[in-house]
Structure formats: structure tokens, C-alpha cells
Amino acid sequence: MHSRPGFPQVELVYDDACPNVALARNNLLAAFELAGVAPKWTEHRIRDPKVPAHARGYGSPTILVDGADVAGGKAGSDDCCRIYTTAERTAKAPSFELIAAALARSAAR
């Protein structure tokens, strides 16, 4: 799934019970600002039967840009809270820098 050049398709996959969704939304806003892109995304509740097939199987919160997980994860059978681990830190949501980098890659296509 790809959007038009310069217009990334951004999706937040989340669970209502996940305490990290607000942090993910805040990081999305900061990432859009850093990337110089107007903030716009679609949200999918994990257990909603209307979730598109490409957004199923991710833990909460997951951020997809043009259908790809910004952290490089693959869809599986997760439907619980997700933790992001890098060499530098452990986080409860993708960092705004990680999201902004994915937005920049999308805009460059």
C-alpha cells in the first residue's frame, strides 16, 4: 500500500486498553511537525472487524507509514501492548524521530 508521492498514508493501530496510545498520538504530532508534513492519519482498533487486512496482527500501539511498521516489525498475531527496544532505550511507543524518518522516506518516493 502506497500513497501518492509526498502524501504518506499513516495509520495508528491500537487497543483501547493500551495505556501507551496517547504517547503514540503525541509522538505522531511531533513527527509530522519535525517532517514538515500536515498531521493526518487513520486509526484502527485492533479488535474492530473493519480493520484492513494489512493492519492486522500488530501490537498496540503500532504506527504504519505506507503500510510498513515504522519500527520494522512484521504483522503476527499480537493484539496486546507493544514495547519498542533499541540499543539506546526502551519505549512504550515509536519515537517521534522514528516516525519522522518514515515520513521523510515516504515523501522522497
CA distances from 49 to 39, 41, 46 (A): 26, 19, 8
Looking at the structure of the chain, the number of domains it has is 1
CA distances from 25 to 49, 80, 87, 94, 96 (A): 22, 17, 23, 10, 10
The pLDDT tens digits of the residues spanning 87-105 come to: 788 899 999 999 999 998 8
The pLDDT tens digits of the residues spanning 30-61 come to: 999 988 888 999 999 998 999 999 999 999 99
pLDDT at residue 108 in the model: 82
3-state class (DSSP) for residue 98: helix
Q: Are 62 and 18 in contact (CB under 8 A)?
A: no
pLDDT at residue 3 in the model: 44
Domain interval for residue 55: 10-108
Q: Quick check: is 5 in a domain?
A: no
> What does pLDDT average to over the chain?
88
Q: Quick check: is 24 in a domain?
A: yes
The pTM of the full predicted model, rounded to 2 decimals, is: 0.89
Q: Quick check: is 2 in a domain?
A: no
Q: Quick check: is 3 in a domain?
A: no
